[in-house]
Structure 1
Amino acid sequence: MTNRKFALLHHRITQWYAASARELPWRAPDASPWSILVSEFMLQQTPVVRVQPVWEQWMQRWPEAADLAAEPASEVVRAWGRLGYPRRALRLHATAQHIVELHGGQVPRTEKELLALPGVGTYTAAAVASFAFGIPATVVDTNIRRVHARLVKGCALPEPSYTAKEAALAERLMPAHPADPEELHPLANAWNISVMELGALICTARNPRCGDCPVQDLCAWVAAGRPAPHYVPKGQAWAGTDRQVRGSMMAVLRHTPGPVGRTALVGGIDLLRPLSDMQLELGSETGSEAHEAWVVLYALAADAEQRERCLAGLIGDGLARETTAGVGLPA
């Protein structure tokens, strides 16, 4: 692909984004670096429709890193709600504390400094550098990889795992930018977010809307007749997995005001008994949300061994703690 074609891709895709992008609060001109960092943590493996209401609640409650850093971990995990992968909440909490202790409460600018934050990997560091500070970092997520694979390589999907060739292609596709890696470069930032949005809305994994694509005539995959993927993607199972059991246990811990007995979590209770009797057995006041969480947990086809394993995993990950009073959220 020639430099002229690259320039055409840059122009068309960024112009499409300017006219068609979703209005998301973390993309607003006045969005703070902290608010963008929070959004990147929440958006990992989680769709925008689930993230936005939780993000808005978080930013109202914790508009600065120092606000979150001052909260106990239990409140952070509880506020994470049903976003999934709750270890992200603990890492974000640790990141906030790190930002306060080492950066005066301000999100650092450079990729190197961002990578030193707990829970921040290569993608998140590049995304925050680009979207929060306009630094020309090369951002590559699943959506971007898919657009690159179709546009340039003619493949329906990117490789199952991120490869060095894909990284090199992403670098080649970036608009030329200044030698100083910290110098602002609006086109590079616009390119990153535009390709990401194109993959999210148009060049989707299933049922891509090629007729609405601003670069359909330049797409190698379309030119090749839209061939099928060269491998069968593996779906991520949920029903019956440890993730499902752990998620149900976390729901119980979030909605129950105090510690609950280990036996109740890994054994069983009679959900047909009067609520008042259940409250005594669980050692806490059980409201409707808590009762529903218990119902869901005990509806799972998980044996005692799996429940024990999942509880041990939650405690080992710091998402739960066990004391003489029972099992609860981290302090």
Structure 2
Amino acid sequence: MSIGAAEEIVDLLVIGAGPTGLACAIEAQRTGFTAMLVDKGCLCNSLFHYPAHMTFFTTPELLEIGGMPFSSPNQKPNRNEALEYYRKVAEYYKLDVRQYEKVERVDGSDGNFVVHTMDQFGRILKHRARKLVIATGYYDLPNYLGIPGEDLVKVKHYYHEPHPFYGLDVVVIGGKNSAAIAALDLWRHGAKVTLVHRGAAMHRHVKYWILPDINNRVKNGEITAYFDSTVTNISEDEVTLSTPSGVVTIANQFVFALTGYHPDFSFIEQLGVKLDETNDRCPMCDPATLESNVPGIYLAGVIVAGERTNEIFIENGRFHGQQIAEALRGKLVAA
């Protein structure tokens, strides 16, 4: 295909090649339709950017898609096992996955959409599809603090591994799983960790085997914690906190602002999908078919729940593909 030329039309194009997107393409193919996936990153890009040694909260069978068993020697699989599993699923189903293509815009309408993407070299490509699924997740867009110094290079919104921070003063902002896991991992590998959380204690939904660990490290003074506190300023060598005891300034070399993420609402709205501003910005869609208010555009995965990003995970989002495939069966066959 020449750069810029539109391909032959496919029945379904899925934007987002994470587990939910893969499940949508698989179920479409199993129903007899052609499918393609595009992703601005690699296959399962969000999972790839999880902490290197992350362990899932769930069991392997609840991460399965396409009827393929997820074999693991561990009761709870880790990130690397999951990545290998989804690679094998994609290979087994011979999925057409276009990696490192960022969607720039979508033209056309139901039955003849044209998806314009840009590859990593800035070249524009076009893909045609009768139907679209938006399965873009939410991990790509951090919730920013909106404070001075947040744009410094030392401030990070993702945590991968501890080695580069050995012996350094590190602040971790947040009170949920990602913050607790990062703080513990950094401390265990020689970083001097300060945890800052606006709540009175770590969140009650922190994984049950993580919560007592982080609480004990704080109780023993191995990790310094400031609860009911916020970071108000970040400079090259310090961080300023607002605490119940007043303003506190501490030495600092790196900050992990692990304060959550949100879906790309602007992209959804550009497609014409309406958000319910009275209901946590949930996109409007039919709960049975997951078709949005824009004919031919379906939603899958966490974006269905809007800002309630703690409601849909791989475990339940993976079934969205079946709902959409069933809807396509009635519409595409009849077309």
- Same fold judged by TM-score > 0.5? no
Which of the two has higher C-alpha Rg? 1
Bigger relative contact order, structure 1 or 2 (CA pairs below 8 A, ≥6 apart)? 2
With structure 2 as the length reference, what TM-score do the two structures score? 0.24
Q: Which has the higher helix share?
A: 1
Instruction: Using structure 1 for the length normalisation, give the TM-score.
Output: 0.24
Structure in which a larger fraction of residues adopt strand: 2
